[in-house]
Structure 1
Amino acid sequence: MIEPIAGTVEQCPFCHKTIRGTAEICPHCGAERRFGPTLRESLLTFAVGVTAGPVFMLLIGAGLQLAALAAAIGGLIGFFIAHSRHAGDRWMKPPDKP
């Protein structure tokens, strides 16, 4: 039997079994390689940005117009933070089996 080249295999971070280096899903446990943020992470950071900016503006008494502008800017900042924080690929936990 031909052994694979060492650089083309890796270990699954969840089940610790050997898998191909190009695998997107672990054939043993079902863990999935993802690139970028999940929808939940994007929505969460967007929501924090949209609420934190206006709350701060209203607390300092800047008015509703600046609060609305702060909401738009905060949402954009939150979106970019999610995408820069999760810019690489990572393994996601396999779904629980019933």
Structure 2
Amino acid sequence: MMEPVPSSVEQCPFCRKTIRRTAEVCPGCGAERQYGPTRRESLTTTGIGLVAGPAAITVVGAGLTLAVVAGVIGALMGFFVAHARHSVDRWMPPPRKPGSLA
């Protein structure tokens, strides 16, 4: 039997099973490859920007109109930060089985 080329395989970061580099799910533990940010990461950074923008403008003492504009700009910046930070593929932990403590 032929062995795979070393550059075409990798180890699962969770169970250390050897898998093909093109695998989307680890057959050993069920970990999944994630491309880009998760929905939670996008919503979190967008929410932080949505709150931080108007908060900064309010501290400065600007009016309500500028606070709304700062909120929109902050939300957009938060969204783009999430996509820039998680623009590569990465492995997400396998789903927990019901009844397990770990």
In structure 1, the residue matched to 2:31 is 31
- d(CA) in 2 for partners of 1:72, 1:55: 12
Structure 1 partner of 2:21: 21
2:45 is equivalent to residue 45 of structure 1: yes
Amino acid aligned to 2:88: G
RMSD: 0.6
Deviation of 1:3 after TM superposition, in Å, equals 1.1
**Shift of residue 43, structure 1, vs aligned partner:** 0.2
% of aligned pairs identical? 62
Amino acid at match of 1:62: A
Unaligned runs of 5+ in 1: none
Deviation above 6 Å: which 4+ runs of structure 1? none
Amino acid at match of 2:67: A
Cα separation, 2, equivalents of 1:77 and 1:14? 32
Say whether residues 1:71 and 2:71 are aligned partners. Answer: yes
TM-score calculated relative to the size of structure 2:
0.94
- Give the TM-score of the pair, scaled to structure 1: 0.97
Gaps of 5+ in 2: none
Aligned to 2:82: 82
